[in-house]
A = this chain, B = another copy of it.
């Protein structure tokens, strides 16, 4: 099974070679050039074909294995794994997710305040007594239909946040523009039933199922930047992810 892999490597590009290979193989898998289950040429031949060293080729394949697109077996070879694998759950905002899918998200800011943090917020964000935070509640709609009710607390010593900015942009986008480099987030997903406050806002009956998500995000300096409590209509939203065994 000679692979029809037809990659072009641009050595003058600022994009690292191994990353160009990753993108090339990813594209080949998605457009069907590399069928699920098919075997790739061995690492050494592939590297030779692209005029790359074996370590570079391996680094590219490592990433694809980690992403769950390829499977390697010692002594046997490397093959394309089956099926519609979604990318691993990423550190992105709902706004970006929706926008990239072609939907038109809108945001209503139900409340907005810049005030001293209470005890539980200080604990969640690891702030000293007396520190102040932004606190706001937003309602996210898609095509006029309410989808999520989101309450967030954000530390105020990084970048300024305004109510008008929140109306047109996602929170993560605003923070990134303000120089925040997110590194990781802890989140917890659960379920509740809609109460009298949530139900009318989400235009769903009291007692309807809602997905809950609590998240605290940390930037590259180790600061906890943001914590939030979101609820989503269960009939419109769920969390999809791919788990990879390492």
Contacts and interface: CB of A to CB of B under 8 A. Distances in A.
Contacts of A243: 89-91, 184-187
A181 B89 CA distance: 22
A81 interface: yes
Interface of A: 36-37, 55, 66, 68, 71, 73, 79, 81-86, 89-91, 126, 181-193, 207-212, 218, 220-224, 234, 237-245
A242 B79 contact: no
A68 B91 CA distance: 13
A189 B222 contact: no
A148 B209 CA distance: 17
Contacts of A238: 188-191, 212
A184 B222 contact: no
Which residue of A36, A85, A221, A245 has the most chain B CB atoms within 10 A of its CB atom?
Answer: A245
A55 B53 CA distance: 15
A81 B218 contact: yes
Contacts of A208: 193
Given A192-B209, A209-B193, A186 B242 contact: yes
Given A82-B222, A83-B126, A126-B83, A239 B192 contact: no
